[in-house]
A and B are shown apart, each in its own frame.
Chain A
Amino acid sequence: EAGVAQSPRYKIIEKRQSVAFWCNPISGHATLYWYQQILGQGPKLLIQFQNNGVVDDSQLPKDRFSAERLKGVDSTLKIQPAKLEDSAVYLCASSFLMAGELFFGEGSRLTVL
């Protein structure tokens, strides 16, 4: 069974530039999460989808971050414009059940200069 795929693995940009991350969850997983993990900290939930609907985006900085999950499968997370403090690993996770085990991708490491 293929795992959660994320790309790119690494991205370096200047502040005020934009960046997009892509996630392909495990086939059949209806729930998809985007987490931000700053070095030395635990993952912080940015947004949770159930199929293509948003369940929770209360911690998503909506002035600069956006996310979508078209057709309830793949998802993209965009940051525009990026700030220095956005430097982090962006983790995508999916689960079959709403309250079940989360399967994580390897993450996309963003460095904002």
Chain B
Amino acid sequence: SQQGEEDPQALSIQEGENATMNCSYKTSINNLQWYRQNSGRGLVHLILIRSNEREKHSGRLRVTLDTSKKSSSLLITASRAADTASYFCATDGAGNYGQNFVFGPGTRLSVLP
């Protein structure tokens, strides 16, 4: 299984601080995506990074991908209380293009005002 595994499971920070979450996976991938889920809601796509990319930015988000280590990180800069949510990485396996996006267990981020 190429399931991603987020780390840490839970993270609590003060507003204005940066939050870093990591994702590790087991097999080669085509792309990796990060999603956010507010309590009781569906998941919202944040960013997609392809296997031939190393870094992508979107607003306050920065994602890196290290295919040699089979890992990715999501950095949220200058966090806000509204960033409180669970964050998931999802991968599709190389050779199974676009199939069977597998989500990890998530990182629960709490941003304290």
Contact = CB atoms under 8 A, between A and B. Distances in A.
A42 B100 contact: no
A59 to B, nearest CB: 8
A111 B103 CA distance: 23
Contacts of A31: 98
Contacts of B101: 33, 45, 102
Interface residues of A, number: 27
A99 B101 CA distance: 9
Contact of B100 (A41, A48, A93, A107): A48
Contacts of B35: 102, 104
Interface of B: 30-31, 33, 35, 41-45, 48, 88, 90, 92, 97-106
A58 B1 CA distance: 12
B98 A97 contact: yes
22 contacts: A4-B42, A31-B98, A40-B105, A42-B88, A42-B105, A42-B106, A43-B43, A45-B102, A48-B99, A56-B99, A58-B100, A93-B43, A98-B99, A99-B30, A99-B98, A101-B33, A101-B48, A102-B45, A102-B90, A104-B43, A106-B42, A107-B42
Nearest to B108: A40
Contacts of A104: 35, 42-44
Given A43-B43, A91-B42, A99 B103 contact: no
Query: Would you list the 9 A-B pairs with minimal beta carbon distance, nearest first?
Result: A98-B98, A99-B98, A104-B42, A42-B103, A101-B45, A104-B43, A43-B103, A42-B105, A106-B42
Contacts of B43: 43, 91, 93, 102, 104
Interface string A85-104: 00000010100011111111
Contacts of A44: 103
Given A55-B99, A99-B30, A99-B98, A41 B105 contact: yes
A25 interface: no
Nearest to A103: B45
